Amino acid sequence: MCEALCIEIATRVGELTTPIQSIYFGGGSPSIVSDKNLQKIFDQLRKSFDLSELKEVTLESNPDDHSEAKLQFWRTLGINRLSIGIQSFIERDLTFMNRAHNSTEALNCVAMAHEAGFEHLTIDLIYGIPNQSLEEWKANIEYAIASGVNHISAYCLTVESKTALAHLIDTDQIQEKSDEEIEAEYLLLHRTLEEAGFDHYEISNFAKSGSKAVHNSNYWKSAEYLGLGPSAHSFDGKSTRRWNASNNAVYIKSIRNKQDYWESETLSEKERVNEEIMTGLRRKIGVNYQSFPAECQSAFRKNLDEIAPQLKEKLILTVTSVSIKPESWLMADAIIRDLIID
């Protein structure tokens, strides 16, 4: 895998037209990659690209992968931001979600990262967990604040079909939380983090001043990005999307045999605008619809005029933009569905 990834890096030189500001190691569990292979990947990146304007290098990590030696090595590579998949600080929740780490590791891993010199840390939390009380959810948020991280991402638990969780719910062994319970947890999250000095700048993301994710923000602004490795997606910032084969074996074999390992598509003007609507309405800043082409702008204004009153009251409208009130982001799917251009 490391060999194939390095080959892909070398062969895609020149695809980016703007200076590289961020690198993000995500997807599976990059924190389990050996020091030797991580070093090879970084060496290839530096050999292939101009990284002189690099601001942010993020690595997704699991709490149980943190050790003093590993953290220090990541720092020597140039990694300056960790995204830690904590999910919960409560042992019962971690067991329920089949996480490899325990509550002690969840509590200690952030302190270890701070001690190793990482100033920019983000942690993931999950709400909507069955059998977790509102008081326990509040404690999770307070643990996160007390840890001293400057960025928090929080996601609602999703029940996917044909999973162990779906089976437990279908057989009435556990009860999925109601919409009202999830809304109460979301509003508690929004209110508590805002009071603690976090800016709720995207539907699932909260940041202290100066700590918004550079990499993710570029996605949401539809800037160009280059995706490397299995399942990775790329966008030229204009109209072309490309995605790599998701199967590891297919990806590796195709690269070794110098065969195509990707597919691509060209977005129409309307599809491009609809993507801007979908990503823009996930952000506090919203959508600047005056930047749309004339025909799309007219269609968007028509949709805005015709949207149901109970949804329109959840919007912030200016002469040039529209955004969703952060406390109403749980209604984002319904609002976006009515505003995208047919």
In a domain, 214, yes or no: yes
Range of the domain at 247: 220-266
25 exposure class (CB count in 10 Å sphere: 0-12, 13-18, 19+): buried
pLDDT, one tens digit per residue, over 235-280 is 999 999 999 999 999 999 999 999 999 999 999 999 999 999 999 9
Q: Are 262 and 276 in a shared domain?
A: no
Q: Tell whether 326 is covered by a domain.
A: yes
The whole-number pLDDT of residue 98 equals: 80
Q: Is the domain of 183 the same as that of 44?
A: yes
The answer on pLDDT for 170 being more than 90 is no
| Position 165 pLDDT exceeds 80 | no
Is residue 94 one of the residues assigned to a domain?
A: yes
Residue 8 lies in a domain: no
pTM: 0.93
User: Which residues is 126 bridged to in the sheet?
Assistant: 155
User: Residue 186 is part of a domain; what is its CATH number?
Assistant: 3.30.750.200
In a domain, 261, yes or no: yes
Residues 157 and 234 in one domain: no
**What are the counts of helices (DSSP H) followed by strands (DSSP E) for the chain?**
14, 13
For residue 42, the one-letter residue type is F
pLDDT tens-digit readout, 84-106 = 999 999 999 988 888 888 889 98
Per-residue pLDDT, averaged over 138-142, amounts to: 97
**Helix runs in the chain, H state only:** 2-11, 35-48, 68-77, 91-96, 103-115, 134-146, 164-170, 179-195, 214-220, 248-256, 269-280, 294-306, 309-312, 332-339
How many domains would you assign to the chain?
3
210, 333: one domain: no
83, 78, 103: which is closest to 91 by C-alpha?
103
Going by pLDDT thresholds of 50, 70 and 90, the confidence category of residue 113 is very high
97 and 41 together in one domain: yes
Which of 219, 239, 257 is a domain's end point?
219
Q: Is residue 4 part of a domain?
A: no
Contacts of 18-21 spanning 24+ positions with Cβ under 8 A: 18/223, 18/224, 18/237, 19/50, 19/52, 19/53, 20/49, 20/50, 20/51, 20/53, 20/54, 21/53, 21/54, 21/55, 21/56, 21/214, 21/218
Q: Are 122 and 204 in contact (CB under 8 A)?
A: no
Last residue of a domain, one of 181, 197, 219: 219
Q: Tell me if 41 is assigned to some domain.
A: yes
Residues 60 and 170: their CA atoms lie apart, in Å, by: 32
Q: Are residues 213 and 287 in the same domain?
A: no
Judgement on whether residues 133 and 200 belong to the same structural domain of the protein: yes
Query: Considering the domain boundaries, does residue 78 fall inside one?
Result: yes
- 122 with 69, same domain? yes
Residues 102 and 176 in one domain: yes
Q: Which helix (H) or strand (E) holds 56?
A: strand 56-61
Residues 97, 210, single domain; the answer is yes
Domain edge (last residue) among 266, 297, 327: 266
Q: In this predicted structure, what is the pLDDT of residue 283?
A: 95
289 in the same domain as 144: no
Which residue in this structure is represented by tokens 């959810």?
137
Query: Same domain, yes or no, for 133 and 81?
Result: yes
Question: What tokens does 206 get?
Answer: 């909260």
> Quick count: other Cβ atoms within 10 Å of Cβ 109?
26
